[in-house]
Amino acid sequence: METLGSRFGTCACGGAFGEHVVAVTARRTGRRKDVPLLDVSQGICPICGSRVYKPRSLQSLEAAFRALQLSPR
C-alpha cells in the first residue's frame, strides 16, 4: 500500500490507520539485556488492530539489526 506524507493510509477493513510511536528493542544472542534502538512510527487500525510500518522505517531497522547483529524482540 502506498502512503502519503506521515499518514499511513487506509486498512483493508476500511479503518484509517492512526500514527503511534513505538519503542523498538533488540536482544543480543546470549545476553540478557535488551538494546534500545529507536522509536518508530507505526500505523495501527482502530477497527481490526492491524499494524503497518513505512518502508523506510523497516529498512532502517533491518540495517541496524544487521550492523549490531541483533534480533528483533
How does pLDDT run across 5-54, given as a tens digit for each residue? 458 889 999 999 999 888 888 776 666 677 777 788 899 999 999 999 88
- Give 48's DSSP letter: T
Residues 6+ apart with CB under 8 A from 47: 11, 13, 14, 15
Show me where the domains of the chain are located: 18-72
Report whether pLDDT(62) > 60. yes
Which pTM was predicted?
0.65
Q: According to the model, what pLDDT value does residue 73 have?
A: 56
Average pLDDT for 48-63: 88
